[in-house]
A = this chain, B = another copy of it.
């Protein structure tokens, strides 16, 4: 028998390894393919090891979503860096939003796809805005007396999130998908021109 010489992960290393394994599995197998046992196997530990680092599968998903949100924030920031003006910056963030969803669809679905009863378990790890703060700052220059920040943020976020979600679905927005992706995106985001200017 080959006793594996693998030395046990110590303090906290396994937690990060399991999260990374989960992200890899999401990328290759989709959201349905994300499994506690597969994460454990990929991290080189037994099927019950994750239980000591996460509160079950929901807890692991919450931790993956939390890490994904930080990647998401970085992607949006990178996409909006070097924008010429405030409007270009806002659209850059939306571009990063869509590109992230397209590049990591399963992770994106996981991040925004929790059911209500799961939220209680993972909300502690998600509620420190992370990504929301980026959007809020990009919206700030366009706040007016008759357009308070929460409303404007909700309009912007709803538009880009809905577009990204429907884009991922593939089954909807068919006529739009006939256009080149870049052109369709820009024309839809042109809605901001009217929403945001006086």
Contacts and interface: CB of A to CB of B under 8 A. Distances in A.
Interface stretch (A15-23, A47-55, A116-124): A116-124
A109 interface: yes
Nearest to A187: B151
Contacts of A155: 159, 188, 191
A177 to B, nearest CB: 9
B157 A173 contact: yes
Interface residues of A, number: 50
A171 B113 contact: no
Contacts of A145: none
B191 A176 contact: no
A154 B169 contact: no
Interface of A: 30-32, 105-106, 109, 112-117, 119, 123, 126-127, 132, 149-151, 153-155, 157-163, 165-166, 168-176, 178-179, 184, 187-188, 190-191, 194-195
24 contacts: A30-B115, A105-B116, A113-B169, A116-B170, A123-B171, A127-B174, A150-B178, A151-B176, A151-B187, A151-B190, A153-B176, A154-B166, A154-B184, A154-B188, A155-B159, A155-B188, A157-B166, A158-B158, A158-B159, A158-B166, A162-B162, A162-B163, A194-B195, A195-B195
